[in-house]
Structure 1
């Protein structure tokens, strides 16, 4: 009997040690990649991955298979829209209706809810795959020289989150003591985000647990940073507390959904280029001109520091879902503005489907697969990605290349500027109107139209005739 017991204990200990060894092996089997650095930020392209709608399967594994395709586009940072389980309670079916409003049970099944109504910060949405599948995606990205950042929603949780019952002190409450959805602080009215419960950072009791949830992904899954949803709705003091803790583990890249200057300052590396984006939309509609663009560039230079990085985009998940695709908003100007996002100071973003000329809005609360047919834009993004990755004149990080406006004879309609650094030079010239423009450009020499490969000979006083939305990216 004693021998049997001893043998049982020995086997149990052996198995336990083996299991622990395997667990340790799993934890340390990360693909190696140089840490996040200032140098990496200078020439990166960022890709926003809507996993649900990226493929027919809508899974991590299906997306991971295409990571080599993204590498062709010069992508160095993959931003994953929230990967966590989605709350069932108050789940939205449309912008105005919840699943509770849908009577037909079969109809209800197609409404998968908002990625941003999170029920557990440290788990994986089973619709997308398993934790092992997620880790495979991260490792595959790292093996291809790409960094992975997670979408982080610190402002609110889904109504199914355990904190609702276990820690009600973490949430905003109304006069009746009821947890509320996020409210406009100026009016007290709901933003309409009724599928989420508003977190309260007033007492700071939430700081430590929220920081720990973020740390989990850095420590246990080797992710490289976060895109922080409505970052300016969360107290700055929280970010000042949490971000240094993340950086104690490894360097991380921090993107804020905000353009507030005070949130840079060593907290966030990159902000949303909302001002430039909205101006692009307005110019495309004929409501603003190149003069407004010049004014914006002057204002940003005075309002922000040189090391503040902007994410430049013609679309993202919010713009696509609620305001329309870039083709809906910009029409024939979409390609010219896409090129502008690469050559202007900052980092260009590609949102899921843009590389495949996807022309419609993606449904936000249900499955809505993009097409994967390569048309014009894949080649355009591929060329621009190579140029961004390799030409220091397009550096757009904390040590950006110079931006020098070039005056033309039609400055209200023609945008021309040079980017220069360490002897490298790229010139951008674009007709930002719906009409044909004739103008002169005070530049001389022989250049290459980088997009077409054609030689361009420039001489002082030479007239140029540009079709609507025609552009040049000129290299030596």
Structure 2
């Protein structure tokens, strides 16, 4: 490169990096979207309509809304509501993620009017409803196949192509290089916000769809009303303009490792990465179960064993928006069938009581709120650092100290830093305690304590 050109580039770079001399300069925020105000201290509940009741309908699920509200639910995520394809269907009833018509309502669940009544009643209780949206693919007999066969991707043989490498033989992929596909899907997303007054979407396999599609779709949806968008993906850049929240897949893996005797290293790595790589205003969804985990891998009891309650406490009190999957609060012990009818057996259970207590604290303690509204977790030193995970979340108004024993042995532990200093009440029991560096507590195997100021 010629010396003169190098000098010119240096001048241009200096000019680009020059900031105003006054204090008015503010860097452009990485997260440009505005989260709905009502999401700041929300909990999300995934509702599997097919298995939620014996009837498997919106009307029957609507009867549970007061119970979900009392549990602490703010956002109800309905698994896909659309008519299911018949060609290459799996099982008797098929997968809700093999959509036949994005403008339809699955008659198994009810009618459009039934859906509207569900949404309206949820709104009357100050809850919000988001729909599961399957943008990446459709059923083989989706209405678009006959009308627009060139809207779909093809394999090397020129045939319709399911998503490669996965066992998704009941679906075929859309081709987002075509503007017509983007327009169709954006219009369909807008339809349900306008017609049924839903409050946003959970985007299935969000990272398999181009990011600029989601960015534009979010802008167009927000022009109708403020929406909430959840991505089934774990990628920082989805937060900038499209999604309020992403899956914390690696959190679930780390919590699972901690309950299997593998130590706390993965949890430390997750929180280090989450704080360092993700913007402050990004929301992450923390969970011990969801429809995929429950159906294909393990129930909450199988996955976390005796450490289940410890993992639940961290999912709610740590950084992130907690998810409850249908039946967790009832202590559901079965892997719910995915392609057949398999209703949940509802009962009172201690897991539901635990969630209710934790969610009430999360809503009322501003240090535990999400994104820019909440306080960052700060690691709190203790004398059993390989077994006890302890941290503080604190802002100008509220403070919470948490200690969780991720081991099968009783731990006599002392806090080693003055960050803990203060007067608190215990969340479980309500006793008044004073803590300071050197204070000791006893944690039962897989036990936990939460101190609230």
Q: TM-score, normalised by structure 2?
A: 0.89
Gaps of 5+ in 1: 1-35, 94-110, 184-189
* Counterpart for residue 128 of structure 1: 109
* Counterpart for residue 467 of structure 1: 444
Tell me the distance in 1 between the aligned counterparts of 2:207 and 2:293. Answer: 19
* Counterpart for residue 13 of structure 1: none
Asked if 1:54 corresponds to 2:68, the answer is: no
Equivalent pair of 1:392/1:422 in contact (CA under 8 Å): no
Deviation digits for residues 42-80 of structure 1 (CA, Å, limit 9, x no counterpart): 210000000110111111011111111111122110000
* Counterpart for residue 266 of structure 1: 241
Q: 1:267 to 1:218 in 2, by over 3 A?
A: same
Matches within 5 A, 1:391-402: 391-402=365-376
Tell me the distance in 1 between the aligned counterparts of 2:438 and 2:371. Answer: 35
Equivalent pair of 1:180/1:198 in contact (CA under 8 Å): yes
* Counterpart for residue 319 of structure 2: 345
Deviation digits for residues 348-374 of structure 1 (CA, Å, limit 9, x no counterpart): 000000111112211111111111101
Equivalent pair of 1:433/1:468 in contact (CA under 8 Å): yes
* Counterpart for residue 359 of structure 2: 385
Q: Secondary structure at the match of 2:157?
A: coil
Deviation digits for residues 181-230 of structure 1 (CA, Å, limit 9, x no counterpart): 111xxxxxx31100011111123331101111111101111110000000
Asked if 1:327 corresponds to 2:301, the answer is: yes
Matches within 5 A, 1:121-160: 121-160=102-141
Deviation digits for residues 131-184 of structure 1 (CA, Å, limit 9, x no counterpart): 11111100011000011100000000011211111111110112332111111x
* Counterpart for residue 212 of structure 1: 187
Tell me the distance in 2 between the aligned counterparts of 1:451 and 1:357. Answer: 20
- CA RMSD for the aligned pairs? 1.5
Deviation at 1:294, TM superposition (A): 1.9
Deviation at 1:338, TM superposition (A): 0.7
Asked if 1:178 corresponds to 2:159, the answer is: yes
Gaps of 5+ in 2: 1-33
Equivalent pair of 1:306/1:400 in contact (CA under 8 Å): no
Deviation at 1:459, TM superposition (A): 5.0
Deviation at 1:452, TM superposition (A): 3.1
Asked if 1:452 corresponds to 2:429, the answer is: yes
* Counterpart for residue 61 of structure 2: 63
Q: 1:324 to 1:397 in 2, by over 3 A?
A: same
* Counterpart for residue 381 of structure 2: 407
Q: Secondary structure at the match of 1:220?
A: helix
Q: Pick from 64, 73, 76 the counterpart of residue 74 of structure 2.
A: 76
Equivalent pair of 1:215/1:246 in contact (CA under 8 Å): yes
Tell me the distance in 2 between the aligned counterparts of 1:166 and 1:255. Answer: 30
Tell me the distance in 2 between the aligned counterparts of 1:279 and 1:451. Answer: 25
* Counterpart for residue 85 of structure 2: 87
Deviation digits for residues 318-344 of structure 1 (CA, Å, limit 9, x no counterpart): 011111111101001111111111111
Equivalent pair of 1:86/1:117 in contact (CA under 8 Å): yes
Asked if 1:251 corresponds to 2:249, the answer is: no
Deviation digits for residues 99-147 of structure 1 (CA, Å, limit 9, x no counterpart): xxxxxxxxxxxx2111100101111111111111111100011000011
| Aligned residue pairs, count | 417
Tell me the distance in 1 between the aligned counterparts of 2:39 and 2:187. Answer: 26
Equivalent pair of 2:218/2:241 in contact (CA under 8 Å): no
Q: Secondary structure at the match of 1:249?
A: coil
Deviation at 1:283, TM superposition (A): 1.1
Deviation at 1:449, TM superposition (A): 1.9
Asked if 1:164 corresponds to 2:145, the answer is: yes
Deviation digits for residues 378-402 of structure 1 (CA, Å, limit 9, x no counterpart): 2111111211111101111333213
Tell me the distance in 2 between the aligned counterparts of 1:51 and 1:71. Answer: 17
Tell me the distance in 1 between the aligned counterparts of 2:375 and 2:94. Answer: 42
Q: Pick from 254, 257, 280 the counterpart of residue 282 of structure 1.
A: 257
Q: 1:452 to 1:113 in 2, by over 3 A?
A: farther
Q: TM-score, normalised by structure 1?
A: 0.85
